[in-house]
Amino acid sequence: MILGTAGHVDHGKTALVRALTGVDTDRLPEEKRRGITIELGFAPLVLDGAPPIGVVDVPGHEAFVRTMLAGATGVDLALLVVATDEGVMPQTREHLAILNLLGVRGGVVALTKSDVAEPDWAQLVEDEVRSAIAGGALERAEIVRCSAVTGDGIDRLKAAITRAALAIPARDADDLFRMPVDRAFSVKGTGTVVTGTVWSGALGADELVQLLPAGTEARVRNLEQHGAAVPEVGVGARAAIALAGVDRAEIGVRGTVLVRTGDPWVSSRVLRADVALLDGAPVVGSRTRVRFHLGTADLGARIVAVGGPVHPGVRIPVRIMLDAPVVARAGDRFVIRSASPAATIGGGIVTDPEPPSRRAKPWPATTATDEQRLAWMLAEAGGKGLTAGSLPTRIGRRPADIDLLVARAKRTLVRVGARLFDADVAKTTELKCLATIRLAHEQHPLEPGLPVQAIRSSVHVAAELVDACIARLVEAGKITVAGGLAARAGWTAGGGDADSQRSAAVLAALKAAGPRPPSLDELAATHGKDVFAILKMLVRRGDLIAVASDRYFSRESVDQLVSTVEVALAGGAELTASQLREAIGVTRKYLIPFLEYCDRQGITLRKGDGRVLGAPRKP
């Protein structure tokens, strides 16, 4: 569990952390010289009856609010420090606002430096603090008067922190691992080390990890929690993780997030979010440049709402356009500051870290349920669908919760392999597939069906959805698929009245012509230009045989001719084409294409100038 300090500069935060933990977290020479905190400080706090606590000590100076933000993000508990002699000051209020925006879950207020203030004055300050915390995350926090110099009240402060720690429900452990990096350095003999507060999940030695948004790959060499080696670090821990395979120089600290390789984290330059500006903040239009703080990331951004600028005091769905990619998850809290004057002006909650495009509209409403947002995402994804694996980050729930969510939504979505589609989109696609097949039958009545590939390319949705729809249509008995061709159930090529008459006429003509069938051109002259399609269809049905590219014989004629040839060549006879012509009784014009057909079919074999019988025909 993490406890973060907060409070105005010089109010005694670092002195209190030292009184509580014995650790002086102001280590830098510049911090010593100026007597202020500049960088984040870390110390373990062991309290009787409380879970282990990691303390993050933040700077109070107004110039270092960005650092305070990086430290305050991910804390469970706040220790708001107010010097009794000064009372509530500007950064007391700004830090309080930040804690509220980040959704800190509880905490304690220390009214410190009690040794330098009169009790009456202390009471006034306590009242002032009460009204400052009213309505926020620390509303019910205990207020403890204490002094880091005399040690007065430190035990009471420890007891109050213990109570606050026990009041917070434990975070779920079985989630995706994520740790925003707040420091990176190299240690002789160990190599590159990154530190941070584990936001979710757990990580162990030898696991493969990625540093996002850069995407640098590394392996976990070993892990430490407050200087002690541990086999695994989990949610809410302060962790120092030694990495193999990465140089310190490759790691940009601000905004770098350590995740497990293969988990569905993405970095994005566009987010959807619900945003609210603090009372008294300036109005923010779509062109207003703001600073966006999420985790340890701190970057320029613009906020776009539907229908005009964002006004203080209203929670509103927006799209956030970032100057650089960040790693975010739905449910993440962030803070917005104005650049000049540098001030905290608002914040919000990410509602979609991965909109499909830069122009994606904000969600239609704030405070949507998971079911609602899933429905919006599926509708927006349309025929492209979305991967189930993207939902733990896009919806912001543990993978196990997402499985339940998807199972509950089974009437509104269709799952095809790893992709999910809106059920209405799937239904429409099914109808489109059917319509495409019908249209193909109308336009090409002599064709046996439409290639499935042609359906895929004309329906314009993910190929796997088309395939699933076709499979459903087959299952429902509405269509058939054979040899890669889809057709309406019961469809016969050329089955229409007009087509049937024409094909019957063509077949009759060819049957009548027997061994002397007309050529393609002659057929076209009598039966129409598209006679080729009819011939192809009759070949598919087995009524005709394409003996040559422009000669179609009826099956009966071919059978008769083949028998005649077999008789003529029986007993191993070897005959020339002229001899065969006499046996068959047709001119060379018909004979030669037929004999070549026999050669191709293996009915006859060429031998010198003549032919002999080939292998016996298949029955």
**Partner interacting with residue 230 (select from ligand GTP, Mg ion, none; CB below 5-8 Å by kind):** none
By beta-carbon proximity to ligand GTP, the closer residue of 110 and 402 is 110
The span of 31-39, 195-203, 393-401, 434-442 binding ligand GTP (CB under 6 A) equals: 31-39
192 binds ligand GTP (CB under 6 A): no
Q: Which two tokens stand for residue 296?
A: 């340890």
Q: Which two tokens stand for residue 156?
A: 């009471």
Please, what is the minimum distance in Å from the beta carbon of residue 63 to Mg ion? 13
328 binds ligand GTP (CB under 6 A): no
Strand partners, 353: none
366 binds Mg ion (CB under 5 A): no
Report the alpha-carbon distance of residue 52 to residue 1 in Å, rounded: 6
By beta-carbon proximity to ligand GTP, the closer residue of 39 and 447 is 39
Q: For 449-507, give the DSSP string.
A: -EEHHHHHHHH-S-HHHHHHHHHHHHHTTSEEEETTEEEETT--TT-SHHHHHHHHHHH
By beta-carbon proximity to ligand GTP, the closer residue of 113 and 373 is 113
Tell me which residue of 72, 77, 179, 102 sits closest to 335, measured CA to CA: 102
Sheet holding 106-112, edge to edge: 41-45, 53-57, 2-6, 77-83, 106-112, 142-145
- Interface mask (CB under 5 A) for Mg ion, residues 12-31, using x and -? -xx-----------------
- According to DSSP, the β-strands at 2-6 and 53-57 are parallel
Under 8 Å between Cβ of 574 and 617: no
- Interface mask (CB under 6 A) for ligand GTP, residues 53-72, using x and -? ------xxx-----------
By beta-carbon proximity to ligand GTP, the closer residue of 73 and 147 is 147
Report the alpha-carbon distance of residue 516 to residue 531 in Å, rounded: 18
Which of 1, 2, 6, 12 is the binder for ligand GTP (CB under 6 A)?
12
Q: Which two tokens stand for residue 139?
A: 């509303």
- Interface mask (CB under 6 A) for ligand GTP, residues 120-159, using x and -? ---------------------------xxx----------
3-class secondary-structure state, position 554: strand
Place of tokens 């009169």: 118
Please, what is the minimum distance in Å from the beta carbon of residue 15 to Mg ion? 8
Please, what is the minimum distance in Å from the beta carbon of residue 160 to Mg ion? 20
By beta-carbon proximity to Mg ion, the closer residue of 13 and 441 is 13
Please, what is the minimum distance in Å from the beta carbon of residue 10 to Mg ion? 8
**Partner interacting with residue 382 (select from Mg ion, ligand GTP, none; CB below 5-8 Å by kind):** none
Report the alpha-carbon distance of residue 278 to residue 311 in Å, rounded: 9
CA dihedral 597, 602, 607, 613 (to 10 degrees): -110
37 binds Mg ion (CB under 5 A): yes
- Interface mask (CB under 6 A) for ligand GTP, residues 93-122, using x and -? -------------------xx-xx------
3-class secondary-structure state, position 102: helix
Sheet holding 485-488, edge to edge: 450-451, 485-488, 479-482
By beta-carbon proximity to ligand GTP, the closer residue of 16 and 461 is 16
Report the alpha-carbon distance of residue 213 to residue 280 in Å, rounded: 34
113 binds Mg ion (CB under 5 A): no
Give the binding site for Mg ion (CB under 5 A): 13-14, 37
Give the binding site for ligand GTP (CB under 6 A): 7, 9-15, 35-37, 59-61, 112-113, 115-116, 147-149
